């Protein structure tokens, strides 16, 4: 089932079309806020593509009603639903449905902040060697209360000065992974095998660690130290069972192993170091001492690499639980 609508046709010919792709899963409570944030973002030429990945709640009908009540708000709107496929397959379908010169992914419980799209497009215009650029975010809770104004620091203790430095960015991201989904904006060419890094790897449980590593291997990822999105942390995205935790660590390990040969210099040494941690994590979480291991992880949240666990929980469990 799908809904397509066209609107907002005036004076956008010279303004690049931006596709906002939304993988939606069981976010009836938040999808209206997400769509309202798109409408108030301020960019005048937006295409919204929503793919419901088998939600069991009323997410689809709420999104459908909002779209019907807001005609001509965006250049184009596509709303579709499917049987649950998982996040990587869903994102690839969304990319293929899109037609924008730029693409940004926003989960159905997150939000965009005013001006963030234009800031990132301006950064890409200034740096033709970048395929993608990411910004900072604020963190919000289930009631839309801002709990942190520096999401990258909160999630992974990231150093924004290092992220701004072309020579330190890759090492910082490898050692202190902390980037939530809604902050990345990419040129369309980024998803092309010849001109970029290709689509998301459907063999992986979640997508972004691998996608960022591929961009870093090409020196094609930039950063702006401005808040461009609101990333939501709520109670439902911090619960993992043993099977899910194993898949999380296996995906991290696969992402790092497959990209190791593409990373050079000190960044490769950094990835080798993190890779050993990932291997140990996979081993530990498959042993009988797993509960004790999880308790230990809670004590390690000050270590940057582990500080992003809440983020990993969110993108792998709350959004598209294909187990």
Tally the C-alpha atoms within 13 A of residue 250's C-alpha that lie toward its C-beta. Answer: 12
Give the model confidence (pLDDT) of 142-174 as tens digits.
999 999 999 999 988 999 999 999 999 999 999
Residue 322 pLDDT more than 60? no
Q: Where along the chain do its domains lie?
A: 2-237
Tokens coding 54: 């088998």
The pLDDT score that the predictor gives to residue 250 is 87
The 3-state DSSP composition of the chain as helix, strand, coil percent (nearest 5) reads 45, 20, 35
Confidence category of residue 122, pLDDT binned at 50, 70, 90? very high
Beta bridge mates, 186: 103, 132
- Tallying the residues shown for the chain, one arrives at 323
Query: Using an 8 Å Cβ cutoff, are 137 and 151 in contact?
Result: yes
Give the model confidence (pLDDT) of 63-118 as tens digits.
999 999 999 999 999 999 999 999 999 999 999 999 999 999 999 999 999 999 99
Query: Using an 8 Å Cβ cutoff, are 74 and 7 in contact?
Result: yes
**Terminal CA-CA length for the chain:** 24
Confidence category of residue 323, pLDDT binned at 50, 70, 90? very low
Confidence category of residue 5, pLDDT binned at 50, 70, 90? low
Continuous segment of H or E residues that includes residue 128: none
Tokens 């992986």 sit at which residue? 204
Beta bridge mates, 285: none
CA distance to 126, 175, 269, 274, per residue, from 217 (Å)? 20, 15, 13, 16
Residue 302 pLDDT more than 80? no
DSSP-derived pairing of the beta strands 76-82 and 102-105: unpaired
The pLDDT score that the predictor gives to residue 178 is 80
Average pLDDT of every residue of the chain:
86
- Can you list the positions of beta strands (E) in the chain? 2-6, 18-24, 46-53, 76-82, 102-105, 111-112, 132-140, 146-148, 184-187, 221-232
Beta bridge mates, 22: 50
Interhelix angle for 265-285 vs 290-299, to 10°? 140
Query: If one looks up domain 2-237 in CATH, what number appears?
Result: 3.90.550.10
């Amino acid at each position: 089932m799908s809904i397509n609508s066209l609107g907002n046709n005036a004076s956008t010919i010279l303004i690049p079309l931006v596709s906002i792709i939304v993988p939606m899963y069981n976010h009836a409570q938040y999808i209206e806020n997400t769509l309202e944030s798109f409408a108030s973002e301020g960019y005048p030429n937006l295409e919204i593509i929503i793919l419901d990945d088998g939600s069991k709640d009323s997410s689809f009908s709420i999104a459908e009603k909002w779209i019907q009540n807001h005609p001509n708000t965006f250049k184009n709107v596509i709303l579709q639903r499917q049987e649950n496929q998982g996040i990587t397959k869903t994102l690839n379908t969304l990319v293929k449905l899109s037609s924008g010169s730029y693409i940004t992914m926003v989960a159905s419980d997150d939000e965009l902040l005013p001006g963030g799209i234009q800031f990132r497009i301006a950064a890409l215009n200034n740096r033709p060697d970048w395929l993608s650029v990411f910004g900072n975010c604020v963190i919000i809770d289930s009631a839309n209360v801002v709990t942190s104004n520096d999401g990258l620091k909160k999630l992974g203790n990231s150093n924004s000065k290092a992220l701004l430095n072309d020579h330190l960015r890759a090492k910082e991201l490898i050692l202190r992974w902390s980037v939530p989904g809604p902050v990345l904006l990419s040129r369309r060419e980024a998803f092309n095998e010849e001109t970029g890094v290709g689509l998301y790897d459907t063999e992986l449980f979640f997508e972004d660690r691998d996608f960022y590593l591929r961009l870093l291997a090409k020196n094609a990822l930039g950063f702006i130290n401005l808040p461009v999105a609101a990333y939501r942390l709520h109670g439902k995205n911090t619960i993992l069972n043993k099977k899910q935790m194993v898949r999380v660590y296996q995906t991290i390990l696969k992402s790092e192993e497959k990209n190791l040969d593409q990373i050079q210099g000190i960044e490769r040494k950094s990835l080798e170091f993190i890779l050993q941690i990932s291997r140990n994590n996979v081993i530990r979480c498959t042993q009988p001492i797993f509960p004790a291991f999880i308790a230990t992880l809670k004590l390690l949240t000050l270590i940057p690499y582990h500080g992003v666990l809440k983020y990993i929980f969110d993108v792998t469990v709350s959004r598209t639980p294909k187990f």
